[in-house]
Amino acid sequence: MARSIRLEDVRKEYHTAGTTHLAVDDLSLEIPEGSFTTIVGPSGCGKTTTLRMIAGLETPTSGSIHFGDRDVTDVRPQDRNAAMVFQSIALYPHMTVRENIAYGLKVAGVPKAERRAAVDEAATTLQIGEQLEKMPAELSGGQQQRVALGSAFVQDPDVLLLDEPMSDLDAKLKAELRVEVQRLHKEMDATMVYVTHDQTEAMTMSDYVLLLEGGRLAQFAPPGDLFDRPVSQYVAEFIGTPSTNALPATVEIGEGGPVVVGEWFEIPAPPDPFEDRIGDAVTLGIRPQYLSPDGGDHRVRVVVDVVEQLGTEFVIHGTGLDGTHINVVDESVGDATASDELDVGFDAADAFVFDDDGRTICHGDRLVAARSRPNQ
Amino acid sequence: MSAVGTLESRLGELDEKRLLLVATFVPFTLFFVLVWGFPIGYALGMSLFEDPTGTAAFAGLANYADVVTDDLFVTALVNSVVYALSSTLLSLVLGLGLALVVNREIRGGHALRTMMIFPYLLPTLVVIFMWTFLLDPNVGAVNEFLLDNGVIDEPFAFFSSTTWAMPAVVVASVWKYGSFAFFILLARLQAIDPNLYERARVEGASTWQAFRDITVPQLRGAILIIILVRGIWMFNKFDIIYLATGGGPLDVTTTLPIMVYEMAFQGTPDFGGATALAGIMFLLLAVVAVVYFVAFKPEREVAT
Amino acid sequence: MIDLGGGAAGKYVSQHTQERIRRTAVVLTALLVAIFVSIPVYVMIAIAFQPSTTTFRGGTVSLLFDSFTLDNFVLLFTDTGTPRYLFNSLLVTASSTLLATALSVAAGYGLTRFEFRGKTMAARAVLFAYMFSPIVLAIPLYVIFFTLGLLDSYFALTMALTGISAPFGIWLMWQYFQTVPEALEESAWIRGAGRVRTLWDVVLPVARPGTIATAIFAFSVAWNDFTMARVVMSQDEMYTITVGASLFLDRASIGWSETMAAAVLMSLPPFAIALFLQNYLLQGFNVGGLE
């Protein structure tokens, strides 16, 4: 039965040769039962450590971990009813595929006939019925991955943990297995936690995304919220490709109240948070997808450096007049060439404003709600 | 012009290639023919003659018959097997235990590893000096220790006791050669993906189950190789036994290599008999080698 | 729920206790082995560096190391053939190490890079030689050297020692060169270096760790050898240190103190190797160790 996973003030330190390395720093959150949650972040941000603590392979230095109502902080991994798929896939090289999938059941003392039935069912679901009597070394990378998923599947775990299981596969196989994992999630009654460094994977697969920054929680929310309502510049820049453009600006006092002023734009801002920040340097965040040569209330001038074609869209890597790196994604900019000057526009509704420390001051909707003022 | 150039450079390449072929294969072939093929063939030839270094009368397989019917041959064969088996198995058990210990990354594991290499590199003679002293009936520490603790009533001459000479030689041999098993098993253990153990834990396996289902199967090949290869080497070991006991007392430590040496170099040299016995040992080794080649296909590591 | 929490806490303690017991057992094993390995070495060193009057004072053996002397070594060098033995040992060890290493590197390269029929047979021949019994080889070698009048010569012993050390060296280098990508050589050829030049500039430097491992093994075989030297050398002034010293205990004039001093001398090269070159050595072990 799926269980929620609750982390309370979880902290993990490693001590090596006199130095203390803080891998996870005061992490608190609750992953709803039965959900599919992705932990994402750059390498070294503590995502695998967090997963391993949930599995019980690492014990938190302080804080507690709960599965449903049960405190599992000090429970051995054997006794958590969790299953895990490792980055190295970790198939027992000396066992056949069938023995590999059935190993957890065998250890649990499940009778042979039941084991057979469970393995056959898993093999059918994962389309590896033909491979059951082979050794792992005879399988392709994708097949090995399916076997690893199969051995987690037959365990009927409360919690299924996956540690970057696709990092070594090529793009096509990745896409195939992504679908497989999601299908598995639908069929299984388990809370799934999936670690990846690939934010596209995180955004497309999961109900919730946990983004970590240097061992701390950056944001824990549904994927759409991370994209549209990032809580910080870090989140806005990590999520989405190409990265969110960060345009330097200052808060000034305009005719009808505060305005956010950049090189080329002047956006009216609501008095509530901005009146206290007159004169502050801020950063305006705008996603490349929301910049377009036609339309938009506010404009930015970009000098084109490189144009890439990405299917029907084009990606322009350019430079703003003040030297800021600016990317534009649009269908209609294909005929631009290097060193062209391009005027692109955006709506205030799509922008974010970050303070000096990278925290979000407000999202676009509040900028729009501020007041309307004709723009030239 | 360019075609000529290509041809020239190709010829030049070929010449250099041929040069390298000659430079690498001639010494290799010469070495094997001169130091291995010829002496072995020569010995097998000698074994068919009566007094091959003197009158050299052709004797067919008479030398072989003489050796096999010699009472000492059976004794030596049994001793060889006992010595090879006991020293190999003991090394294996100790090596396995210690490899499991060091694999757990205890403090000082590295120092222990360095310490283990040392006996393996020591000249056999030094090892025998140490153990002869330790087991000496008059000055040896082992006797002193056993006397003080009342285990024995009077000093005990291990290397000259018909009961204890063989065990004493085995202990000295394990001391010197035991680390072979240790290092091979340790390397094998360290090559096992640690994720396998973590997966087993998550799947509910106990420490013992993980050891039985992961460690043991992964070590099986290495263990068989140790038994086979180390076993052959111990079966053929000459110097450590010769230096410790010279094959005595009363031939209780006379193994086939000791017997060969005695026939060839002690008393009246009997090169016919010695080479016949060498031929028999050659045959025994060939049988084991065939088993090794068929079971493990070690040549696959270089020739596929 | 409280019950469940208590159960979990109980498990936590027992898991820790278990771990502690296991750890203690592990450390205890390590300690026992360390003692087993080091006691003979300590005894050797203590006897070698103590005056024999201290060691054997009052009928019992004292190994407490309360006085230090080099007298045993001085005696060894002045009253015995040790200087000559050491010279012989160093000479044949150096020449056979050089010969075996050169042979192994050349053969290893050729066997890896050139395609020829019977590679499997060549591999088996090398392995068979590597498992072979030195004493069985010693007998025909003795007869051959005797016939050629080469007994009691450095040349004969060098050849015999190379005979038993080269098969493993060849096997090691053969395996080692397979890990050296041919692309390295190809890239040098494309830049205009000939095969021989490439060998010198690219292959040999890349193969250095394997070469060092081979040299260490060849050195150990030659330095430790007793069998071949015993068979090939019959005159006292041609003895190597192992053969010469093996006769010490039979002589009334040489006691344990000088014998152990000789043992210490013989242990110095292995000690240096274990200390400074162990990583190369372990590389060799992974290929299959040495007799």
SS3 assignment for B166-230: HHHHHHHHHHHHHHHHHHHHHHHHHCCCHHHHHHHHHCCCCHHHHHHHHHHHHHHHHHHHHHHHH
Angle at the Cα of C150 (from C147 to C156), degrees rounded to 5? 120
Structural domain ending residue among the three candidates A234, A262, A294: A234
**In-domain check, residue A191:** yes
Q: Identify the pLDDT of residue B85.
A: 95
Q: Which residues make Cβ contacts (< 8 Å) with residue C18, sequence separation at least 6?
A: none
Q: Judge contact between C123 and B298, C-beta under 8 A.
A: yes
Last residue of a domain, one of A234, A264, A291: A234
- For residues A193 and A37, the answer to whether their CB atoms sit within 8 Å is yes
Q: Are residues A55 and A181 in the same domain?
A: yes
- Distance in angstroms (rounded) separating the CA atoms of residues B147 and B132: 17
Same domain? A86 vs A11: yes
Does A272 lie in the same domain as A180? no
* pLDDT reported for residue A119: 92
Global pTM reads: 0.79
Tell me, yes or no, if C246 comes closer than 8 A to chain B by beta carbon.
yes
B200 part of contact set with chain A, CB < 8 Å:
yes
CA distance A304 to C276: 59
CATH of C71-288, one of 3.40.640.10, 1.10.3720.10, 3.40.50.2020, 3.40.190.10: 1.10.3720.10
- Domain boundaries of chain C, sorted by first residue: 7-59, 71-288
Res C14: pLDDT: 57
Rounded distance, CA A331 to CA A313, Å? Answer: 4
3-state secondary structure of C270: helix
Q: Determine contact: C5 vs chain A, CB below 8 A.
A: yes
For residues C25-37, give the mean pLDDT.
84
Mean pLDDT of A111-118: 91
CATH number of the domain bearing residue A185: 3.40.50.300
What gap in Å lies between CA C172 and CA C213, rounded to an integer? 8
Token couple for C283: 């590389």
d(CA A86, CA A88): 5
Q: Are residues A274 and A144 in the same domain?
A: no
Question: Residue A75: its chain B contacts at CB < 8 A?
Answer: none
Rounded to 10°, the helix C82-113/C71-79 angle is 90
Nearest CA in chain B to C288: B184
Looking at residue C203, its pLDDT comes to: 85
H-run or E-run covering C168: helix C154-178
Mean pLDDT, residues C127-156 taken together? 90
Chain A CB within 8 Å of residue B196 CB: yes
Interface test with B, best of A15, A88, A167 (most B CBs within 10 A): A88
- pLDDT exceeding 90 applies to what percent of chain A? 35
Question: Which chain A residues contact residue C1 at CB under 8 A?
Answer: 69-70
Cα of C163 to nearest chain B Cα, Å: 6
Range of the domain at A340: 242-370
- Is C8 in Cβ contact with A72 (below 8 Å)? yes
Q: How many domains does chain A have?
A: 2
Residue C120 has pLDDT above 80, yes or no: yes
A84 beta partners: A161
Taking an 8 Å Cβ-Cβ cutoff, which residues of chain A contact chain B? Answer: 55-57, 76-80, 82-84, 86-88, 90, 92-95, 103-104, 107-108, 151, 155, 161
The reply to whether A77 and A204 lie within a common domain is yes
Same domain, A208 and A356: no
pLDDT higher than 50, residue C1: no
Other Cβ atoms within 10 Å of A179 Cβ, number = 10
Q: In 3-state terms, what secondary structure has residue A341?
A: strand
Which of C216, C67, C231 lies closest to C137, judged by CA?
C231
CA distance A14 to B44: 66
> C170 to each of B213, C57, C212, how far by Cα in Å?
37, 52, 13
The answer to whether the beta carbons of residues C232 and C141 sit under 8 Å apart is: yes
Nearest by Cα to C47 from C56, C60, C37: C56
Residues of A in contact with B209 (CB under 8 A): 107
Neighbours of chain C (3+ CB pairs under 8 A): A, B
Question: In CATH, what class is B64-303?
Answer: mainly alpha
> Do the chains contact at B129 and C259, CB–CB below 8 Å?
yes
Q: How far is CA B18 from CA A155, B22, C199, C201, C227, in A?
A: 62, 6, 14, 19, 39
pLDDT at B14: 64
Nearest to B187 among C29, C174, C285 (CB): C285
CA distances from A111 to A81, A83, A105, A220 (A): 18, 20, 8, 42
Please report, for residues B23, C21, C71, C137, C290, the alpha-carbon distance to residue B28 in angstroms, rounded to integers and kept in the order given.
Answer: 9, 55, 48, 18, 20
Is the pLDDT reported for residue C130 higher than 80?
yes
- Which stretches within B32-164 are classed as H helix? 38-46, 62-69, 71-103, 109-121, 124-134, 141-148
Cβ contact (<8 Å) for C11 and A71?
A: no
With left for phi above 0 and alpha for psi between -120 and 50, is residue A240 left, alpha or beta?
Answer: left
For residue B73, the number of C-alpha atoms closer than 13 Å in the C-beta half-sphere is 15
For every one of its 304 residues, what pLDDT tens digit does chain B have, with 9 covering 90 and above?
Answer: 444 445 555 555 567 778 888 888 888 889 889 888 899 998 888 888 887 777 777 888 888 988 888 889 999 999 999 999 999 999 999 889 888 888 876 677 778 888 888 888 899 999 999 998 888 887 777 887 888 887 777 777 888 888 889 999 999 999 999 888 888 898 888 888 889 999 998 888 888 899 999 999 989 888 988 898 889 999 999 999 999 988 878 888 999 999 999 999 888 888 888 999 999 999 999 998 898 888 888 887 776 6
| C141 Cβ contact list (under 8 Å, min separation 6) | B35, B39, C156, C159, C160, C163, C228, C231, C232
- C16 in contact with A at a CB cutoff of 8 Å? no
Question: Quick one: A34 and A165 in the same domain?
Answer: yes
3-state secondary structure of C190: helix
